[in-house]
Chain A
């Protein structure tokens, strides 16, 4: 069970990484992040918050799983 959660965490973190590199690549160049009234910046921020929340919930989930195992 714990391995599975680690797997999913890794997957979500890798998603986070791709968002970050995406943002850095476009700081200097006039491209996606600055187009359409910079709406992509809002998307990046909201997605980051969402990923953060999911990581937090997943970590609580993991902690409860640990306690459940101890109490078996």
Chain B
């Protein structure tokens, strides 16, 4: 049980999110009505993605410091899961926007910013697949991953706050894009943060499956170093 406690924790936290997320009393804000509950499902996608991309960045830096193929396998696995979460975040955001902003895509700075950030990470996957030499691929993609991360952060966290936006957390609105200051009351926080941790743990679990498969596949290459 020692090794898999966090997997059980992920399941417990997400079960809690799915039950409490539908049932707790939520504040009535603007035209959100019940859709404010999306905060427990849509926003943790982005928090999870940010955390997974950060882990990926750390492994890319680790690879450049110590070129062990293992680090490359870790970096790509976390980045891939982060990308999946980003796609889910974009799609759920668009669904939510359809019924609150009036259309799925309103060219909002936050939507554009995150779409560009996603394209930069798609390029990471394309770049990797275009290099056949394994060591070269690991090195180039590590450098690119670091570069991508430091464009990703301004695109999702800095630029959207400098301009006006339909999304919470724009210019003139206080707080984090996901947590609109006073709008998030105490009961919502009690579900929101466990949701963030739960989704992040689930993302990590899926990444580790990816890592373990690749470690098995590249066992000979790793042992040869």
Binding site for B on A (CB under 8 A): 1, 4-5, 7-8, 11-12, 15, 39-40, 42-43, 46-47, 50-51, 54, 57-58, 60-61, 64, 67-68, 71
Taking A1-B3, A39-B22, A42-B22 as known contacts, 15 extra A-B pairs with beta carbons closer than 8 A to each other, sorted by chain A number, are A4-B1, A8-B7, A12-B11, A15-B15, A40-B23, A43-B19, A54-B10, A54-B11, A61-B7, A64-B209, A64-B216, A67-B216, A68-B216, A71-B216, A71-B219
Which of B8, B18, B219 gathers most chain A CB within 10 Å? B18
User: B95 at interface (Cβ–Cβ under 8 A)?
Assistant: no
Question: Can you give 21 contacting A-B residue pairs, CB < 8 Å?
Answer: A1-B3, A4-B1, A5-B4, A7-B1, A8-B11, A39-B22, A39-B23, A43-B18, A43-B19, A43-B22, A43-B23, A50-B15, A51-B15, A54-B10, A57-B205, A57-B206, A57-B209, A58-B7, A64-B213, A64-B216, A68-B212
User: Could you tell me the distance between the alpha carbons of A71 and B212 in the complex, rounded to whole angstroms?
Assistant: 12
Contact A8–B8 (Cβ < 8 Å):
yes
Residues of chain B within 8 A of A64, CB atoms compared = 209, 212-213, 216
User: Could you tell me the distance between the alpha carbons of A64 and B211 in the complex, rounded to whole angstroms?
Assistant: 10
User: Could you tell me the distance between the alpha carbons of A64 and B205 in the complex, rounded to whole angstroms?
Assistant: 13
Least CB distance, A60 to chain B, in whole angstroms: 6
Least CB distance, B155 to chain A, in whole angstroms: 30
User: Could you tell me the distance between the alpha carbons of A41 and B219 in the complex, rounded to whole angstroms?
Assistant: 47
Contact A47–B18 (Cβ < 8 Å):
yes
Residues of chain B within 8 A of A39, CB atoms compared = 22-23
Query: Nearest 4 A-B pairs (CB), nearest first?
Result: A43-B22, A64-B212, A4-B1, A54-B11
Contact with A along B198-209 (1 / 0, CB 8 A): 000010011001
User: Could you tell me the distance between the alpha carbons of A43 and B44 in the complex, rounded to whole angstroms?
Assistant: 19
Contact A4–B4 (Cβ < 8 Å):
yes
Residues of chain B within 8 A of A11, CB atoms compared = 8
Residues of chain B within 8 A of A60, CB atoms compared = 209
Please give me the residue from chain B that is nearest to A70 by CB atom.
Answer: B216
Least CB distance, A2 to chain B, in whole angstroms: 11
Within 8 A of A (CB), among B153-169: none
User: Could you tell me the distance between the alpha carbons of A8 and B4 in the complex, rounded to whole angstroms?
Assistant: 9
User: Could you tell me the distance between the alpha carbons of A67 and B213 in the complex, rounded to whole angstroms?
Assistant: 9
User: B142 at interface (Cβ–Cβ under 8 A)?
Assistant: no
User: B45 at interface (Cβ–Cβ under 8 A)?
Assistant: no
Contact B1–A61 (Cβ < 8 Å):
no
Residues of chain B within 8 A of A15, CB atoms compared = 15
User: B196 at interface (Cβ–Cβ under 8 A)?
Assistant: no
Contact B18–A46 (Cβ < 8 Å):
yes
User: Could you tell me the distance between the alpha carbons of A33 and B8 in the complex, rounded to whole angstroms?
Assistant: 27
Least CB distance, B194 to chain A, in whole angstroms: 14
User: Could you tell me the distance between the alpha carbons of A5 and B1 in the complex, rounded to whole angstroms?
Assistant: 8
Within 8 A of A (CB), among B8-63: 8, 10-11, 14-15, 18-19, 22-23
